[in-house]
Amino acid sequence: MIRRFFSYYKPHKKLFLLDFSSAVVVAVLELAFPVAVQWFVDDLLPEGNWGKIVSVGAGLLALYLINTVLQYIVTYYGHMLGVNIETNLRQQLFEQVQRQSFRFFDNTKTGHIMSRITNDLFDIGELAHHGPEDFFISVMTFLGAFAIMLSVNPRMTLVTVLIVPLLIWLIWICNIKMNRAWSEMYQKIADVNARVEDSVQGARVVQSFTNEDYEIARFKTDNQRFRRAKLQAYHVMAYTNSGIYFMMRISTLAVLIYGAWQCYQGQLTYGELVAFLLYVNILFKPIDKISSLMELYPKGMAGFKRFLQIMDREPDVKDREGAVNVDRLRGEIRFSNVSFRYEKDKQVLENINLHIRAGETVAFVGPSGAGKTTICSLIPRFYDVNEGSITIDGIDVRDMRKNRCGNKSASSNRTYFCLRERSGKISLTESWTPPKRRSGKRRGKPVWTSLSSRFRTAMKRRWEKED
């Protein structure tokens, strides 16, 4: 998964190199500052050469100005890199959703899809910016500060780093817990989005049955679950941050006391003590940054994992090898021994044989669940048949390019809203919007087709003369 994540940097190599190289220079300049402070305290101040002090101060000011420009580049262009990657991921995810068949939308709530396209990708942009950059710079800064401190005073360096293994253990354990917490949080916000989508879509029906209080109670339940999941994640984060803060301050206090004792014994100069305290802060700054990265990493990876779940899903309906483009169709439709099921153990259509001549108008009449909508959905290949074949002008619809097949047909489906009353009874309401009529007169003769409730086709035609 990590390798796939880094593959999205390829289109933005130049931007990544600009951001990364600027961050490296900033880190190197940070390491140089304590050396300059030590020089000031131990050499320049005792000499009393004010002109030299001003010159060195001017040089440091120039370095700070350069550092300021580089900080701007890291902040702005680094976030631009993250936003570009996030935008690319969102575009790819939307296109992948558009390629899915009706079966995907039957089994996936709209709110969950919305959450994956929006919320799940927010933290991926931040991770794309801060992830590789912060990790590499933190390791480089830590090793650089450790090497300099070791050259100044090995004993004090060992006192400082004694607590580092405990810090690493704490970060590692908390990272595991935060991974679980953020994954749970993303699932709960997806449930909230799904609840909002269902409620808004069926708002007219809810108000017609005066069911607002029940919908509010359902939303409150999902909202409280999301709240608890988010608080659990923040509980782990607070535990991590407070533990790291305490250990870092204990280490600084130990260095301060031990360094003061060495100065008292004449084994350490005041400038070296000041520089060493500054290096302690630089040494622990990467650990603090990695701790923040460990907070961001689970959130970003949880979103990326949910992103890959859809990207790795193959559409149920896709073009056969060698599928052809069809520019014109007369409209002669034939069902030959067609059987279809939405689920493995539930047959919806069985051995349907149907012939509709070009130009005929056909109406399917029957009770709900008889298979009227299913038959209409099979012609443009919203689903593929399980057995048999459907042909248009003698061409199997599976041998046509799917987009071409869909371009030659259109459907207007009913919209259902499931309203669960407080008593537990389920009421199913439906609304239907007729398709816009095309200009021009219809050709051919109308045909009425009746479907039995047992999902077997009972064909009955009645010809009427059109005006």
User: Which has the higher per-residue pLDDT, 91 or 101?
Assistant: 91
Higher pLDDT, 207 or 466: 207
Shared domain for 9 and 101, answered yes or no, is yes
Look at residue 455 and tell me whether its pLDDT is greater than 70. no
Alpha helices in 202-211, H assignment, sequence order: 203-208
To the nearest 10°, report the CA torsion of 354, 357, 358, 361.
Answer: -80
Whether residues 301 and 344 fall in one domain: no
Give helix then strand counts, H and E, for the chain.
Answer: 14, 9
| Domain span holding position 362 | 333-458
pTM: 0.63
Q: Is pLDDT larger for residue 405 or for residue 144?
A: 144
Residues 339 and 302 in one domain: no
Mean pLDDT to the nearest integer, 175-184: 77
Task: Specify whether 365 is located in the same domain as 432.
Answer: yes
pLDDT of the residue at 389: 87
Q: Give me the pLDDT at residue 407, please.
A: 52
pLDDT for 275 equals 77
Question: The domain spanning residue 254 has which CATH number?
Answer: 1.20.1560.10
Are 301 and 399 within one domain? Answer: no
- Lowest mean per-residue pLDDT among 93-97, 147-151, 305-309: 147-151
Q: Which of 311, 344, 367 is the last residue of a domain?
A: 311
d(CA 400, CA 355): 19
Co-location of 301 and 343 in the same domain: no
Choosing from 258, 276, 311, the residue where a domain stops is 311
**The amino acid at 280:** V
Residue 464 has pLDDT above 50, yes or no: no
328 within a domain of the structure (yes/no): no
Residue carrying the six token digits 């899903």: 313
Number of domains into which the chain is organized: 2
Q: Mean pLDDT highest for which of 29-33, 71-75, 270-274?
A: 71-75
**350 and 291: one domain?**
no
Contact 462, 450 (CB under 8 A): no
Question: Does residue 171 register a pLDDT over 60?
Answer: yes
| Average pLDDT of the chain, as a whole number | 76
pLDDT in tens, 265-320: 887 777 778 777 888 878 777 777 777 777 777 778 878 888 888 888 887 777 77
CATH number, domain with residue 379: 3.40.50
Q: Which of 159-163, 312-316, 449-453 has the lowest mean pLDDT?
A: 449-453
Q: Domain ends where: 311, 342, 364?
A: 311
pLDDT band per the 50, 70, 90 thresholds, residue 438: very low
Report the distance separating Cα 200 and Cα 197, nearest Å: 5
At 69 the pLDDT is 92
pLDDT at residue 423 tops 50: no
Check residue 242 and give its pLDDT: 84
Banded pLDDT at 412 (limits 50, 70, 90): low
- Whole-angstrom Cα distance, residue 401 to residue 189? 38
Where is average pLDDT lowest: 37-41, 88-92, 228-232, 392-396? 37-41
Averaged over 195-222, what is the pLDDT?
79
Q: 95 and 226: one domain?
A: yes
Q: Calculate the alpha carbon distances from 420 to 206, 208, 218, 417, 426 in Å.
A: 10, 13, 11, 10, 5
Q: Is residue 316 part of a domain?
A: no
Is the predicted pLDDT of residue 169 greater than 80, yes or no? yes
Q: Does residue 270 sit in the same domain as residue 217?
A: yes
The reply to whether 304 and 351 lie within a common domain is no
